[in-house]
Amino acid sequence: QVQLVESGGGLVQAGGSLRLSCAVSGRIRSINTMAWYRQAPGKQRELVASITPGGSTNYADSVKGRFTISRDNAKNTVYLQMNSLKPEDTAVYYCNAAIKTQAGWWNNYWGQGTQVTVSS
């Protein structure tokens, strides 16, 4: 069974920083694009950033210049460095990845989510 486990969320003051991690475990054969999404109360889930195996990245306009997505392919882990945090960044952050299991199937997997709260 494939699992994605996030860590690094918490409560920070505006202007502060957090680093989220998402580690993939299980009998996986390969991981394609990995991404971070977030969902604030009463709002739709939105894409924050994505990264390909080769390191190509995409960011939501709202986080460009403040957030950085990266990955360590050897560790099957994706990171989200969040700087200059604002109260509007408050949300549950979810890790997502396209994964091929040892059974041979491609699928999209989601982490359980980690809460990020930014106080003013």
Residue-by-residue pLDDT tens, the chain, 120 positions: 899 999 999 999 999 999 999 999 999 999 999 999 999 999 999 999 999 999 999 999 999 999 999 999 999 999 999 999 999 999 999 999 999 999 898 999 999 999 999 999
**What length is written for the chain?**
120
Residue 94 has, within 13 A of its CA and on its CB side, a CA count of: 15
pLDDT at 82: 98
pLDDT recorded at residue 1: 85
